[in-house]
Amino acid sequence: MEYVQVGEEILVVEDLLTAGSKVGTVGKHYCFAKKLIIEGDQSPLTIKLVTWEDAPIIEDLEITVSINGVESAIRLVQGQIDLDLSTQPGQYTVLALAPSIDIGKKSITVI
């Protein structure tokens, strides 16, 4: 498979075949060029901005974090931020979101 970046999007390129002959090429959405990942199995969690191939991106960026459906705006500094959930034990589903960036998702239990 071949991957091509067009703007903020990564496309997988496929040949169109008719009766065994190539009649064209099509690009289908594979992912965005950037993604948010959430690392850690306990608190604190680290939210990081990386390329689609997992290389760190060192930039400041405002994102939305949703914790069990409650959203807050936070700012990544140099591509990351730590998120401390240790003050309140429980089960959490954490989403990290930003426009044209693949979503980070993590479920954890804080004891």
The CATH topology of domain 35-110 is Immunoglobulin-like (2.60.40)
Asked whether the beta carbons of 49 and 76 are under 8 A apart, the reply is yes
The predicted structure's pLDDT at residue 32:
94
pTM exceeds 0.95: no
Give dist(CA 46, CA 108) in Å, integer. Answer: 13
pLDDT band at 71 (very low <50, low <70, confident <90, very high): very high
Interatomic CA distance for residues 36 and 104, integer angstroms:
5
Instruction: List, for residues 76-95, the tens digit of each pLDDT value.
Output: 999 999 999 988 899 999 99
The domains of the chain are located at 1-32, 35-110
Cα gap 103→105, rounded to integer Å? 6
